[in-house]
Amino acid sequence: MKEFPNFMRNRLNHIDSSQQNTQDIDGYYFEGNDGNQMAFWTYYADRESKEQIHEFDEYTVCVAGEYVEIFNGTEHILHSGDEIFVPKGTPHHGRVKSGTRTIHCFGGKRICK
């Protein structure tokens, strides 16, 4: 597959660019009854995100392409099928290559509508 299925890209679940930490990406999210969220991002250019800190854990899986998660002075390079866990309170940022798709699971509310 070259993109997430249409049902995952419903405009009602689109993440506004003001809530993105990286330019030139397209994202959608779903929220569980417990307030935890999942976000699905597609990156359209090679980019680096702003450093961020969450008050909740974050789990990421790389679906396609290359995603680099940087924290604690280490670059963690993810390719298709690779996953990583970032504990809450950890300053982190990432770097991606054009065409990359990732799924992020947040143990809290990352996207506010």
Cα 101 from Cα 109, distance rounded (Å): 21
* Domain boundaries, given as residue ranges, for the chain: 18-106
First to last CA, the chain: 29
Q: What pLDDT, on a 0 to 100 scale, did the predictor assign at position 1?
A: 86
Which CATH number, 3.30.9.10, 2.60.120.10, 1.10.630.10, 3.30.70.120, labels domain 18-106?
2.60.120.10
Q: What pLDDT, on a 0 to 100 scale, did the predictor assign at position 51?
A: 92
DSSP label of 15:
P
Residue 93: how many CA atoms within 13 Å on its side-chain side? 10
Q: pTM for the full model? A: 0.91
Confidence of residue 19 (pLDDT cuts 50, 70, 90): confident
In the numeric block, which tokens belong to residue 58?
Answer: 């974050």
pLDDT in tens, 73-110: 999 999 999 999 999 999 999 999 999 999 999 999 98
- The DSSP bridge pattern shows strands 58-64 and 101-106 to be antiparallel
SS3 106: strand
